[in-house]
Amino acid sequence: MSDQHSFETLAIHAGQEADPLTGAVVPPIYQVSTYKQDGVGGLRGGYEYSRSANPTRTALEENLAALEGGVRGLAFASGLAAEDTLLRTLLAPGDHVVIPNDAYGGTFRLFAKVVSRWGVEWSVANTSSPDAVRAAIRPETKAVWVETPSNPLLGITDIAAVAGVAHEAGAKLVVDNTFASPYLQQPLSLGADVVVHSTTKYMGGHSDVVGGALITADTGLGEELAYHQNAMGAVAGPFDSWLTLRGIKTLAVRMDRHTANAERVVDLLVSHPKVTQVYYPGLPEHPLHEVAAKQMRAFGGMVSFRVAGGEEAAVEVCNRAKLFTLGESLGGVESLIEHPGRMTHASVAGSQLEVPADLVRASVGIESADDLLADLTQALG
């Protein structure tokens, strides 16, 4: 399918042509491990073993590449599996990575507890400041890692500016685009070298599948990533790929509703006497609001806020919520609420990435906005 089509059309059709055997308009679930060869080395369509390639996964990977404006998309068993494969591809012992001072706790744990044992060094920088990133770069820096919007404080990084800083130093820029999704933001067009997704979140969108993705616009890097994907083996299974594809078809309409509902939630929170601070890039007072407006189509469905009364008050808000389900993860059609300090970001306690104890994070779903506001109002007390 031509990449000249609009996003909404690509989401439904890219990589998903009608099945040539039956005309099925949805790619079949090829729940198979191996494939008959037409003589030794005679592969049909390049398929020999489903760790190396599977037609259902191929459909998802082609779709991912089209949506992010890349040349190669790769699907993994989880977002962290994608990240691990990327790091093993880009880095070697003795190399250095700049990581953000606000990032998903699992990403921090991967750097601090796993990759560091392999001899890779890392340091923390405020990636909202290109100057801070520049100051953190060393001669051995091979990658700069960015989340924008970030998890959980909704920080914004100027992707084009930081891409310039990274490339001046000969480093790759990696952008975790999970919070925005490719519908709201396309980092490759702004200079990023690799985009990372937890497809568990907005891409799948229904809290029923775990997955991850890497997308790049560099053919050579795409081949390297594909080699390591096969060599390391943490690939997305066919049914998981099919579920993710099904979710992506409605990504555009879901993100529009997530954003509209989040804006209503933000309006409530900024005027509530028990809320001391609201984190949302759509707020004019957000320090990088103008950057977000420049590089994003809209501001997304994630909102974080701090509660008067400290940690116990924040925990109680989470416990009292009813329509907002208390749970980890994000990006599903149902609204979720959590306490990052005790849940998703417990792994960063005591580090430079430690989050405020009175912080609550909400993934605003696509339910009735009026019902969501009523639930938050009673939860805040």
Domains annotated for the chain, with CATH where assigned, are 7-248 (3.40.640.10), 251-380 (3.90.1150.10)
Q: Collapsing DSSP states into helix, strand and coil, what is residue 35?
A: coil
End-to-end CA distance of the chain: 52
Beta-carbon contacts of residue 38 (< 8 Å; ≥ 6 apart): 44
> How confident is the prediction for the chain on average, in pLDDT?
96
d(C-alpha 113, C-alpha 263), whole Å? 37
Burial of 139 (0-12, 13-18, 19+ CB in 10 A): exposed
The two three-digit tokens of residue 313, written as one number: 């008050």
Which one of the listed residues 84, 95, 176, 358 is annotated catalytic? 176
Q: What are phi and psi of 191, to 5 degrees?
A: 115, -5
Q: What is the pLDDT of residue 3?
A: 60
Write out the DSSP string of 248-277.
Answer: HTTHHHHHHHHHHHHHHHHHHHHT-TTEEE
Which one of the listed residues 51, 109, 246, 342 is annotated catalytic? 51
Q: What is the mean pLDDT of the segment spanning 89-100?
A: 97
Is 371 labeled as catalytic in the residue annotation?
A: no
Enter the pTM of the model: 0.96
Q: Specify whether the backbone of 308 is left (phi greater than 0), alpha (psi in -120 to 50) or beta.
A: beta
Q: What is the mean pLDDT of the segment spanning 129-148?
A: 98
Q: What is the mean pLDDT of the segment spanning 315-339?
A: 97
For 214-242, what is each residue's pLDDT tens digit? 999 999 999 999 999 999 999 999 999 99
d(C-alpha 256, C-alpha 258), whole Å? 6
Q: What is the pLDDT of residue 84?
A: 98
Helix 369-380 and helix 251-270, axial crossing angle in degrees, nearest 10: 40
* H or E, element range at 291: helix 289-295
Beta-carbon contacts of residue 367 (< 8 Å; ≥ 6 apart): 261, 323, 333, 334, 335
Q: What is the mean pLDDT of the segment spanning 174-198?
A: 98
Is 51 labeled as catalytic in the residue annotation?
A: yes
Is 84 labeled as catalytic in the residue annotation?
A: no
Which one of the listed residues 72, 201, 254, 297 is annotated catalytic? 201
Q: Which pLDDT band holds residue 21 (cuts at 50, 70, 90)?
A: confident
Q: What is the pLDDT of residue 354?
A: 92
The two three-digit tokens of residue 249, written as one number: 């078809």
Residues 239/29, Cβ–Cβ less than 8 Å: yes
Burial of 248 (0-12, 13-18, 19+ CB in 10 A): buried
pLDDT at 7 over 70: yes
For 58-68, what is each residue's pLDDT tens digit? 999 999 999 99
Q: Collapsing DSSP states into helix, strand and coil, what is residue 49?
A: strand
The two three-digit tokens of residue 260, written as one number: 């509209």
Which one of the listed residues 35, 47, 104, 183 is annotated catalytic? 104
The two three-digit tokens of residue 174, written as one number: 């990696």
The 3-state secondary structure of 208-223, one letter per residue: CCCCEEEEECCHHHHH
Q: What is the mean pLDDT of the segment spanning 307-331?
A: 97
Q: What is the pLDDT of residue 176?
A: 98
List the one residue out of 87, 195, 130, 147 whose CA is nearest residue 300. Answer: 147
Q: What is the mean pLDDT of the segment spanning 265-281?
A: 98
d(C-alpha 122, C-alpha 124), whole Å? 7
d(C-alpha 127, C-alpha 129), whole Å? 5
Cis-peptide, bond into residue 28, ω within 30° of zero = no
d(C-alpha 345, C-alpha 286), whole Å? 22
